[in-house]
Amino acid sequence: MASIKQEIYLPRRLLAAIHTHLEAAYPDEGAGFLLGRTAPRRVVTAILPLPNAREESARHNRYLIHPQDYLQAELEAEARGLTLLGVFHSHPDHPNRPSEYDRQWAQPFFSYLITSVRQGHAAGSRSWRLQEDRSAFVEETLVFLDK
């Protein structure tokens, strides 16, 4: 069965803001939420950067978002007439593809924008969505908007 091509649209200014947040978190993982619309296409219109709530000894290769942060993001999205589309996070000095740990904790609807941060500088971002059966991620095409 062929999979449907998945795309996510992201303004370059928001990608720059994501990179700034994730570079500031280096050498730890940084994270935040992607807010936007799903129709007629999946478009990120806002981000909510968050501190990494993981214990300090594990922040270099894990991030944690508290349940109250999820709730606050849902409320913020609703107040703006938007949808919580997903999560962005960094992989310090590692590739921008999901780990097995990422797969275990992911949700199928969400987009997961992962940025490789090498020696403190963003080195590329890719976006992924977990398949409904939770077996694997499928890369979604990042389409950059000039806004």
Point out the residues that are catalytic: 29
Say which DSSP state 27 is in: T
Cα dihedral value 112, 117, 122, 125, nearest 10:
-30
Backbone angles phi, psi at 33, to 5 degrees: -110, 150
Closest CA to 89 of 143, 47, 55, 57: 47
CA dist 121 and 10 (Å) reads 20
Q: Which amino acid, residue 31?
A: A
